[in-house]
Structure 1
Amino acid sequence: MVAPAVPEITEEVLHESVEARTESLLALRELGPPDLVHLLKQPQRNAVKHIGSYHHVTGVDASSSASLAAYINTLTYKEHGQPQTAKIVEGVYCCYNAFSRLDMRVHVTIPGTVESYCVDERGEKRKATDDLWLETYLCSVLRAYSYADDGSGDTIRKIMGVRRFNPVSNTETEQRFLSSAEQLFFRGWQLGSDSVVQVPNIVSNHLTTGLLKYFETTGRYTSGINLFEKLRSQNTEVASLLARVLFMGNEEVEGVRVLHSALKERPMDYVMLDTQATFLLKKAQTATTPEQKEERLRLALGCADRSTIAAPSEFGTWARLAEVYVAMEDWENALTILNSCPMFTYQDKDAPLMPEPKDVFLPTLPETRLDEIDSEPESRYSEQVEPSLLNLRAASYRGTFKKAYSILTEMTAKIGWDQLLKIRSNVFVMEDEYRTEKQEPGPPSKRGASTDVIRGTPEPPTNGEVSDEEKEDKSAEVPQDSTANGHDEALEKPSSAAEPSEVKAEENGNQPEEHLSRLNNKRLCERWLDSLFMVLYEDLRVYTIWRTQMAQFRAQSVQYKKSAEEWEILGSLAERLQHTDEAVEAYRGCLMQRFSPKALTGILRVYEKQKNTRETVAATIRLVTWQYRWYSEFSPELLHTIRTLIEDEGAVKVRSIIQATSLPQNVLDLTHHYAALCATFRSGGTDA
């Protein structure tokens, strides 16, 4: 398998990229940025001048200084048979150790010596020990999985020039990975956790997330069961992870037994309770009779409710309880519980902060040449997009807000916008209702709950100040074309909920008891949730205009025209609102004009659900090629797709379908490489 091309970012000042990395060490909070490889080159015609260049990389074996030096050595070879215009005389490989918060570095002089050391947050050199290399290796593997692209290209576009390799490509490297994970398992909480987890613990952190993702991607469930069985003997809490891997491997009876036994010892372990609730919720969706579904949801409700008592400050437990109520179609309780969710500021993955480069060279391998993909970058930047599509705030949601919005859209998809507003007014104190209760005809409050922008915390500014962001939000509260062409007059704009501070102030004042009792029958809506309703209204408004216009154009037999970028945004909008067919329609409209990994990934998800093997293979081949074009030979989601296909259809059939596709052989070989990985790991269906 040919390695991806090597991107080259040239520095203005020698070594400024390494210095910028050193300065950023103090600010790192997650697993750290991708590894940095800095090269010092000497032009062949000028022995005095030196040129500094760099690129980023994930998935390289970081178990020792020798393995990192070997990577730099591979860069000295002639590229694709072409003579190099400058020879590499020095190289520095930087790999972050998130356990000890050190940057491990290997300095290679060509020809000459290899020096390994580490740099702490103050920029001081320290000695690199074997224990530090063990930690660094594990962090490197976890970064490769955490920072891998899901096929849509969103991750690839965030950081320029990153080569992504598969860190665990055979059973030998798997053994090394799991052995290091076992040794450092009970320190995993030091790495932090996903943005939806408030407090990392030994079973909810980046290490356990990476392990579970590895087992799900490769299907190596037996290895996972063996690992967690050993760790469970040291700590009962690990039973939740063991059960999850058993559920993945369809060992459901054993998984239930493990949870049952562990909960006898730790009846208030919220992760185990949440695992039970998730399992029961999934089983309720596949129930064959209404009675069976009702019973499973009742059991799920008990587990989810108990987990919120065990961990009242965790978002995940409350979100799960809200999901159970949605499945039970208990809308008022679902909205009440959603309002109770503790929301956290989203902590994005650590990204490198590099100075402005002098030059950027992004080469293309001949093996990745495909006409429809090569034309994508040129057409992408010349497209026009309506401002109303660019300003949809829900598209930027991450972490807890993204999950809460998903629950809200699921309710809307099931009962409709009008019914959702009625339930909202039944549950929460609304501003108009509150003012009527007060019987004060004065002007409405200058600051409504629905105009508060989401910034990761529901707390108001100190001293009653209004931020610039809130002023912008107020100006955007009334959509400019909310009745454009009369298409969405039926879409009712949500009214504001009562300001919590005002209501509480009234309750503390000398108000009549009758007035207070009427208000006390309802809850106060958190400002972040009130803001979510406004964002949902804007999504629905734009969606309604689009669908109405589409219907009108079809009735007149006129083609409805949008740019590829607009189709991609509309597809994402429809997917967010859980209108699958409309999302596929929009994504197809985008792909008819140019290649889009995001649009193709959206369609691929539908193909997988429909078990459409040939279309799934065709989409996967193109996504694998696009990934490889941008220096990524490894995507866990695409590997999982291929593995699932092979399990369902058999390796021989899948390979035959890949080979029968009318695409160049060099492109097909890239996808064959993914299929070969499945054979290496002896996945189900590879013997057929």
Structure 2
Amino acid sequence: MPAPAVPEISEEVIHESIDARTETLVSLRELGPPDLVHLLKQNLRNTGKQTGVYHHVTGVDASSSASLAAYINTLTYKEHGQAPTHKIVEGVYCCYNAFSRFDMRVHVTIPGTVEAFCVDERGEKRKATDDLWLETYLCSVLRAYSYADDGSGDTIRKIMGVRRFNPVTNTETEHRFLSAAETLFFRGWQLGSDSVVQVPNNVSNHLTAGLLKYFHTTGRFTSAINLFEKLRTQNVEVSSLLAKVLFMGNEEVQGVRVLHQALKESPMDYVMLDSQAEFLIKKAMTAETPAQKEERLKMALGCADRSTVGAPSEFGTWARLAQVYVALEDWENALTILNSCPMFTYQDKDAPIMPEPKEVYLPTLPETRLDEIDSEPESRFSEQVDQSLLNLRGASYRGTFKLAYNILTEMTAKIGWDQLLKIRSSVFVMEDEYRTDRQEDASQAQPAKRNPSTDGLRGSPEPSTNGDNETEEEEEKKETDNDSTAQTLTNGSGDDTVEKPIHTIDPGEVKADGDTTATTDEHLSRLNNKRLCERWLDSLFMVLYEDLRVYTIWRTQMAQYRAQSMQYKKSAEEWEILGALAERLQRHDEAAEAYRACLAARFSPKALLGILRVFQKQKNTRDTVAALIRLVTWQYRWYSEFSPELLHTIRVLIEEEGAVKVRSIIQATSLPQNVLDLTHHYAALCATFRSSGTDG
């Protein structure tokens, strides 16, 4: 297989990209940005003229300075066009070590010497040792998995010109990876964790997340069991990871035994309790009878409840408890528990912050030529998008807010928007009832003396809620009401309009409003001890309303156009946004419909990935393979030869259908052979790892 093309970003000032990377070292919080490769090119005709170019890369073997120097050496043979006009005279490879917070660098002079060193957060040079290289290698593999694209193209578009390689291509490199992971396992918490984990620990951090993603992708569960069995002898907490890979490998009985035994030693380990609850929820969904389902969910409820006691400040434990209540259809408790979730600010992955480039060269390899894919960038550039679709805040949610929003949309999908509003008003103190009650209190009480100081402290009687501008919202509401289309909106049932939710009372206002704690308590008791809704959850309801409003406009207009036998027109970008909106609201059939409309207009990896999920559910092998071929080709077109999600999809397909059948379907597709070879490469990886269904 040819390596992906080499993008080149030219600098205004030579080495400014390296200087920019050095300056940002102190601010890195996660695994670090992708590796930076800087090249100094010399003009063959004018040797005094030099140009600095760079690109980013993940998945290159970073176990030693020699392997990084070898990568730079491969670039000296990469020339685009007929005759070479430049030659590479120097190269610098920068790879971040997130354990020691050093940037490992290899400086190569061509022809000449190789110098390896590291740079600390202050920009000072230090000696590179073997221990530092081991840490760097492990970080490099974890970055390759963590920063890989899921097939939708969202990750690829975040950073321009990143070459992505598979860091583990055979059992030999797997052994090196797992050996490094075993050596550094109990230092994994130093790497930090996903944004949904408040405090990283031995089993919840970027290292364990990367290991689980690797095993999930490749299906190498025997290697996983061996690794975690060894580590479990050192710390019982590792039992939760062992149980997870046993569940992945369909060794459910053994996984339950592992958790049962481990919880005897550590009865309040929240990760193990959460693993039990997650397993029981899944088993409840496949129960044969309602009685079995209820029994399993009640057991899950006990585990989830104990896990919140074990880790009251973790989002995951409370979210799991809310999921159990949703599965039990106990909507009031589900909403109450969701309101109790501790929310964390989303910390995005470290990304390179580079100066404005002088020039950008993004070449295309002949092997990735496919007309429908090549025309995508030009089509995207010319499309018009309705502003109301661009402003949907639900699409921007990440981390804990995204997961909480998913729980809220799941409730809406099951019981409907109107019913959700009724439950909300029965659980939380609403703004209108609070003000009415306060006015009654004021009319019964003696009028208080006013002075400028107290008036200033109390502020305006109508403070904005959730940081939203109420005036703007009211203006938008009036505009919506004046829209004849919006007046006929339905929530999908054809009966009721999508009602805009009124705000709950701001908890901060309740505290400021009462003269004493006793007065506030007495006042709240008259509201049947309703709870105060957190501002973030109140905001989620407003965002959900906006999503539903736009969704119902779309569905109503579609129905009207069909009734009149007219074509409903949207740009491909708008169809893509509508598909994502429907998916967010868990309306999967409508999402597939929008994605198909998008693909009819132009190629879109995000839309095709959405359709791929439908094909997988339907067990439609031929269409699944056809979608995979195009997604793999698009990834390769943008310098990524490795996507864990696409590799996992092909592996599962081979397990179900057999490698011979899958290879035959790929080959039978009427696409150029060079394009088919890219997908054959993914299938060959499964054979290398001896996945189930492969030959031998």
**Residue pair 1:448, 1:498 contacting (<8 A) in 2 also:** no
1:517-546 Cα deviation digits (max 9, x unpaired):
222520000000000000000000000000
SS at match of 1:87: strand
SS at match of 2:118: strand
Equivalence for 1:652: 660
Query: In structure 2, what is the Cα distance between the partners aligned to 1:483 and 1:191?
Result: 53
Query: In structure 2, what is the Cα distance between the partners aligned to 1:336 and 1:420?
Result: 13
- Displacement of 1:499 in angstroms is 1.8
**Residue pair 1:452, 1:528 contacting (<8 A) in 2 also:** no
SS at match of 1:503: helix
Query: In structure 1, what is the Cα distance between the partners aligned to 2:413 and 2:117?
Result: 56
1:599-640 Cα deviation digits (max 9, x unpaired):
001111111122111111010000000000000000000000
The reply on whether 1:500 has 2:507 as its aligned counterpart is: yes
> Which among 532, 539, 543 is matched to residue 531 of structure 1?
539
Query: In structure 2, what is the Cα distance between the partners aligned to 1:27 and 1:479?
Result: 45
Task: Letter of the 1:500 partner, please give it.
Answer: P
Equivalence for 2:693: 685
Task: Letter of the 1:572 partner, please give it.
Answer: A
SS at match of 1:481: helix
Query: In structure 2, what is the Cα distance between the partners aligned to 1:310 and 1:330?
Result: 23
The reply on whether 1:635 has 2:643 as its aligned counterpart is: yes
Query: In structure 2, what is the Cα distance between the partners aligned to 1:473 and 1:135?
Result: 52
1:126-175 Cα deviation digits (max 9, x unpaired):
00000000000000000000000000000000000000000000000000
**Residue pair 2:464, 2:470 contacting (<8 A) in 1 also:** no
**Residue pair 1:587, 1:600 contacting (<8 A) in 2 also:** yes
1:571-602 Cα deviation digits (max 9, x unpaired):
00000000000000000111001100010011
Task: Letter of the 1:579 partner, please give it.
Answer: R
SS at match of 1:196: coil
Equivalence for 1:159: 159
SS at match of 1:519: coil
Query: In structure 1, what is the Cα distance between the partners aligned to 2:520 and 2:10?
Result: 73
**Residue pair 2:57, 2:164 contacting (<8 A) in 1 also:** yes
Equivalence for 2:677: 669
- Displacement of 1:381 in angstroms is 1.1
**Residue pair 1:507, 1:516 contacting (<8 A) in 2 also:** no
Equivalence for 1:464: none
Alignment of 1:134-533 (within 5 A): 134-439=134-439, 445-449=461-465, 451-452=466-467, 478=477, 480-481=479-480, 484=483, 485=485, 486-488=487-489, 490-507=497-514, 509=516, 511=519, 515-519=523-527, 521-533=529-541
- Displacement of 1:679 in angstroms is 0.1
Query: In structure 1, what is the Cα distance between the partners aligned to 2:63 and 2:76?
Result: 21
Alignment of 1:36-185 (within 5 A): 36-79=36-79, 82-185=82-185
| Deviates further, 519-528 or 128-137 | 519-528
- Displacement of 1:501 in angstroms is 2.2
Taking structure 2 as the reference length, what is the TM-score of the superposition? 0.94
Query: In structure 2, what is the Cα distance between the partners aligned to 1:131 and 1:59?
Result: 20
Equivalence for 1:605: 613
| Deviates further, 607-616 or 309-318 | 607-616
**Residue pair 1:92, 1:105 contacting (<8 A) in 2 also:** yes
The reply on whether 1:545 has 2:553 as its aligned counterpart is: yes
Task: Letter of the 2:590 partner, please give it.
Answer: E
- Unmatched segments (≥5 aa) in structure 2: 444-458, 491-496
- Displacement of 1:438 in angstroms is 1.8
Query: In structure 2, what is the Cα distance between the partners aligned to 1:396 and 1:155?
Result: 14
Equivalence for 1:622: 630
The 1:115–1:475 alpha-carbon spacing in structure 2 relative to 1, beyond 3 Å, is farther
**Residue pair 1:240, 1:271 contacting (<8 A) in 2 also:** yes
- Displacement of 1:505 in angstroms is 3.9
Query: In structure 2, what is the Cα distance between the partners aligned to 1:476 and 1:122?
Result: 51
- Displacement of 1:81 in angstroms is 8.0
SS at match of 2:480: coil
- Displacement of 1:677 in angstroms is 0.0
Query: In structure 2, what is the Cα distance between the partners aligned to 1:233 and 1:343?
Result: 34
- Displacement of 1:447 in angstroms is 2.0
Q: How many residues align?
A: 671
Task: Letter of the 1:589 partner, please give it.
Answer: A
Query: In structure 1, what is the Cα distance between the partners aligned to 2:519 and 2:14?
Result: 71
- Unmatched segments (≥5 aa) in structure 1: 454-469
Task: Letter of the 2:467 partner, please give it.
Answer: D
Equivalence for 2:564: 556
The 1:233–1:500 alpha-carbon spacing in structure 2 relative to 1, beyond 3 Å, is same
**Residue pair 1:448, 1:497 contacting (<8 A) in 2 also:** no
**Residue pair 2:514, 2:520 contacting (<8 A) in 1 also:** no
Task: Letter of the 1:544 partner, please give it.
Answer: T
1:325-383 Cα deviation digits (max 9, x unpaired):
00000000000000000000000000000000000000000000000000000010111
Query: In structure 2, what is the Cα distance between the partners aligned to 1:49 and 1:472?
Result: 60
Query: In structure 2, what is the Cα distance between the partners aligned to 1:516 and 1:341?
Result: 22
